[in-house]
Amino acid sequence: MSAIRLLVLGAVRQHGRAHGYQVRNDLEYWGAHEWSNAKPGSIYHALKQMAKQGLLLAHEIAPSTAGGPPRVEYEITGQGTEEYLSLLRAYLTAYDQRPDVLTAALGFMVDLPREEALALLEERVRKIEQWRASVTEYYMPAEGPGQYGHIGEIMNYWVHSADSGAEWTRGLIERVRGGAYTFAGEGEPFVGVLAEGEENPFAAGRPHYGDAR
C-alpha cells in the first residue's frame, strides 16, 4: 500500500479542480512531506499517472507564468472517486502497513458517513486483536522478551505496538461515536486546504521544476 495515491486524489477532490502546485502545497500544509513519500517529484508523477489511468481529468489552462508549457489543472473523475473511497476504506482498517497509510486515511475519514467510519475503525481493532492472538500462541508477553534471547525484543515490540494501536483506535472510536468532527452528510466540512495565494506556514521551501505545471 502507498499513501501517495490516496493523498493526491483526496487533495484534488477537496479543491474540485487543482493544479499540481496546489496539491503539493496542501500536502506540505498537512506535513505529508515529513511523514509520507509525498515529495514534489512523487506528487507530480502521481498526478500524471492517474490522469493516464482515467482517475483524474487533466485540463490545460493559461500558459505558465514561468514561460513554460500551459499549466494543467486536475479534476477527479467518477472512476477516481471510486478508487479514492476504496483506498480510504482499506487504509482505515489496515493494521500491518507503514504509518503513513493510516495517517493519510485519518486525514480523509470524514468523507465517509460517521457510521461507516466507525464500522471500519472497529474492524481495524478486530484485525489487530486477531493478529495479537496469533502471535501470543507461541510468544507469552508475561514471560518477557528474554525467553527468546534478544530476538524476543522483536516480538515484544510487535505486541506492544498492537496493544497501543488498538488502544488508540478505541479512543478514536469513542470520540467519533460521541459526536466529534463533521462527517459526510452532516453539514459543512472542516476546510483543510489552502485558498489560492494563501501562505503556507509549513511549506518545505524548496522549489521543484514541476511547480510551474
CATH number at residue 82: 1.10.10.10
pLDDT tens figures, 46-69: 999 999 999 999 998 766 555 556
Q: State the pLDDT at residue 31.
A: 87
Please report, rounded to a whole number, the percentage of residues in the chain having pLDDT higher than 90.
Answer: 50
Q: Give the domain extent around 45.
A: 1-92+194-200
Q: What is the mean pLDDT of the chain?
A: 86
Task: Tell me if 91 sits within 8 A of 105, measured CB to CB.
Answer: yes
Q: Does residue 72 belong to any structural domain of this protein?
A: yes
Determine the Cα–Cα distance for residues 198 and 213; give it in Å rounded to an integer.
18
pLDDT band at 134 (very low <50, low <70, confident <90, very high): confident
Does pTM surpass 0.85? no
Confirm whether 161 is domain-assigned. no
Radius of gyration of the chain (CA): 20
Confidence of residue 209 (pLDDT cuts 50, 70, 90): very low
Contact 152, 145 (CB under 8 A): yes
DSSP bridge pairs for 149: 147
Range in 21-30, 80-89, 200-209 the model is least confident about: 200-209
Whether residue 69 lies inside any domain: the answer is yes
Reference 50, options 102, 89, 13; nearest CA is 13
Q: Which residues touch 13 (CB under 8 Å, ≥6 apart)?
A: 76, 80, 81, 84, 111
Segment 103-130 shows an average pLDDT of 96
Condensed to tens digits (0 to 9), the pLDDT of residues 142-188 reads 777 777 778 788 888 888 889 999 999 999 999 999 999 999 999 98
Q: Would you say residue 184 lies in a domain?
A: no
Look at residue 63 in the predicted model and tell me its pLDDT: 63
The total number of structural domains in the chain stands at 1
